Amino acid sequence: MKLESCDWRSRRQMASMRLLTLWLGLLVVLASCGGCARHRYLTVREVPENPLAGPLNLLSRTGPQPTDRTLQILRRYDLDELHHEDPAATLTQLQQEMRREPTADKIHAFSELAYINGYKADVLGKDDKALNLYGAAAFYAYAYLFDPCYDNYRNPYDPQFRRACDVYNASLEAALRLIRRNGQLLPGESLVVHTGSEQICVDVVARGSWRAEEFERLEFVSDYRITGLKNHHRSHGLGVPMLATRQVANPNNPLEKYYPETLSFPVTAFLRITPAPPGSPAQSTRHCVLELFDPLDSTDIVVANRLVPLETDISTALGYKLEKSHENNESLIATVGLLDPAKASDVEGLYMVEPYDPNKIPVLMVHGLWSSPMTWMELFNDLLAYPEIRRHFQFWFYLYPTGEPFWLSANQLRHDLAEVRQVLDPHQANPIFQHVVLVGHSMGGLVSVMQTLESDDHFWNVLSEKPFEQWQADPKIRRRVAETVFFHPSPMIGRVITIGTPHRGSKFANEYTRFLARKLIRLPSNLLWIAHQLTVENPGFFDNTELLTISTSIDSLAPDCPVFPALLEARRAPWTKYHNIVGVVEEDWLLSAFSEYGDGVVSFESAQRDDFASELVVNADHVSVHAHPRTVLEVRRILLEHLAESSSAPAQNPAPVACGAPLVARP
């Protein structure tokens, strides 16, 4: 039995080695092929999505047709035959009927017919005629929805009411498409639309956190189909969901370094039509406003003393940004950051995807090994679907090269957090910077936890029990080592959420993978030189040089890495609360024969934390645990708990030092 057990263990090790060799070999192939195969987040529709396509038979061979309710109005006023012979004359006659006796049914029929005639003119390339008809359709649909004259007839339970919303939205979008062809659709511009009886002057304005000069281009959401995000979050109401691509407005703004180059954001366009002054002539000019709302700021607006929900789409703009990132090969940064960290140093750092808001609590997401901020997009997309989350939190992302040992990345994050605090809150007066939330997946959880620890001598003792001051090195090197092993907890961090984190290391970082990683990963030469010089110039001083000689992140994640006991023993900040989410997979999972009980990469024994405020076990593997629906719900629960406690907590500075500052007095 003993021999059989050893033989089984040997076979299991060999199978594990072959599997992981294949895994790392695949990594090399991916790195060398330059992203030949890629995941698509967004595709272009052959025909834009249109809520009127079905009700009005827009795509039928016979052409668009009015609804039965509109045909009934035409028959009632003896206009059905005229409609077939002369649609334009029908609109004129129906308009005269409305002047004699305005009713909600007539005005709805007129807006529907105006849209149909505008659609036909649009297909024939008669842009001016189509624009005027689309404008008239939007104008009369707006009147049906908001004119006080129809308050006694308007019925929000009638399907006609929703169809009037669709006519308004579709007409406005069609008109904006025609206007955009002439390049006239950006904040700060003005345009003129004729509705037959009136001339409407429209000013385009931005409403929300994004400034007018940051709008580079506007795209229509209906042109795209989401393919790479599981959930498509949108809401129904009035307005045209769009997405805007961002341009740099002021290169000297210190915030610019925190915005990615390919950034798009959601917008809802709403045309606010001002009432005509009493006694105004039939041929008159009316001034209106096309408002571009940010749905992350506003999902409801006030129109005619009514609270009106906006039609929004927050997912397509995210999918568009991800698609453009792939086209620009930004997705390769995860592989580059693992295999050649020096090449990724130019883009590492903290990134924002929405304007900084001093009233919203920052949530900083820290990715794991061989990854990038893209790994958070499913969780980010689902969290944004909750208005209470959008209203009170802003999401930031941290990008770092994952080929380096995680404690070096933790040290860099300390500096980056201190820098962003200095830029955004130089006088340290904003209390939100005492409530920052860190969310870390896998190795990113270790990087996050290290922001909240008091090092004492735990990490230095990994190297030596002799006094720090007694070893010899260049002052710059001494300072760098001091920053790595001596540090205070950041006063900024109010809560940490770790997901699939190897708190005690991962056995996937074994002798085989560590050997291959050393062959594949190219660390900056100065790191290797520093480690060599320290051991050569201080013979016998260091009891354990692993903290200095560990050369890759794979080495740093090995269960026997001496840093893990120091991590578990170090004092945690009393003002920080901790939560843990652990993934587990079924025993019949593909890799269950080669891994311990856990998520397939991190064992349950390593991932679990009995000393955290909460822990949730999710049935998910390592690469999907942070996107699992139960994970989304748990993160939402934690954030709302954090919001409630932060709102009731008195403003105070929990530590007298700068954010995450190392103990620089040691050298």
Identify the pLDDT of residue 336.
55
What is this structure's pTM? 0.88
Element (H, E) at 413: helix 406-424
Q: What is the pLDDT of residues 482-533, one digit of tens each?
A: 888 999 999 999 999 999 999 999 887 555 454 454 445 455 555 556 666 6
How distant, in Å, are the alpha carbons of 75, 350, 576, 593, 607 from that of 596?
Answer: 75, 34, 31, 8, 12
Q: What CA–CA distance (Å, rounded) separates 15 from 157?
A: 64
Burial class (CB within 10 angstroms; exposed 0-12, middle 13-18, buried 19+) of 114: buried
DSSP secondary-structure letter at 664?
Answer: T
Closest C-alpha to 558, from 506, 516, 622, 503: 506
Closest C-alpha to 623, from 321, 396, 323, 370: 370
Q: What CA–CA distance (Å, rounded) separates 390 from 593?
A: 42
What secondary structure does DSSP assign to 302-357, as a single string? EETTEEEEBPEESHHHHHHHHHHHHHTTGGGHHHHHHH-GGGGTTT-EEEESS---
Beta carbons of 499 and 440 less than 8 angstroms apart: yes
Instruction: For 243, list phi and psi in degrees, rounded to 5.
Output: -130, 145
Beta carbons of 190 and 204 less than 8 angstroms apart: yes
Identify the pLDDT of residue 515.
45
**% of the chain surpassing 70 pLDDT:** 80
Instruction: For 322, list phi and psi in degrees, rounded to 5.
Output: -65, -40
Residues 6+ apart with CB under 8 A from 457: none
H helices of 147-288, in order, are 159-181
Instruction: Give the distance between the most distant pair of CA atoms in the chain.
Output: 105
Q: What CA–CA distance (Å, rounded) separates 154 from 365?
A: 47
Closest C-alpha to 634, from 619, 620, 614, 608: 614
Torsion over CA: 435, 571, 549, 535 (sign): positive
Q: What CA–CA distance (Å, rounded) separates 644 from 641?
A: 5
Q: Which two tokens stand for residue 117?
A: 């005639």
Q: What is the pLDDT of residues 265-288, one digit of tens each?
A: 999 999 998 876 665 555 567 889
Identify the pLDDT of residue 1.
40
Q: Which two tokens stand for residue 649?
A: 């907590």
Q: Which domains does the chain have, with CATH numbers?
A: 53-179 (no CATH), 183-328 (no CATH), 338-509+566-648 (3.40.50.1820)
Q: What CA–CA distance (Å, rounded) separates 132 from 91?
A: 13
Closest C-alpha to 313, from 218, 264, 241, 382: 241
Q: What CA–CA distance (Å, rounded) separates 310 from 307?
A: 10
Mean predicted lDDT score pLDDT of the chain: 85
CB atoms within 10 A of CB 272: 16
Burial class (CB within 10 angstroms; exposed 0-12, middle 13-18, buried 19+) of 191: middle
Q: What CA–CA distance (Å, rounded) separates 576 from 435?
A: 9
Q: Provide block-wise average pLDDT over 10 residues at a time, the chain (667 residues).
A: 46 48 43 46 94 94 93 95 94 93 94 97 94 93 94 91 97 95 87 72 94 96 95 97 95 94 95 74 77 94 95 96 76 59 76 96 94 93 96 96 88 96 96 97 97 95 86 81 92 98 84 48 55 74 66 80 93 98 79 72 95 97 95 98 86 45 39
What secondary structure does DSSP assign to 479-539, as a single string? HHHHHHH-BPPPTTEEEEEEES--TT--TTS-HHHHHHHHHH----HHHHHHHHHHHHHST
Q: What is the pLDDT of residues 599-619, one digit of tens each?
A: 989 999 999 999 999 999 999
CA angle in degrees (0–180, nearest 5) for 298-301-307 = 130
Q: What is the pLDDT of residues 51-102, one digit of tens each?
A: 999 999 999 888 899 999 999 999 999 999 999 999 999 999 999 999 899 9
How distant, in Å, are the alpha carbons of 275, 300, 601, 634 from that of 387?
Answer: 32, 11, 34, 16
Side-chain-side CA neighbours of residue 452 (13 Å): 26
The secondary structure of 376-405, three-state, reads HHHHHHHHHCCHHHHHHEEEEEEECCCCCC
Read off the amino acid at residue 290. Answer: L
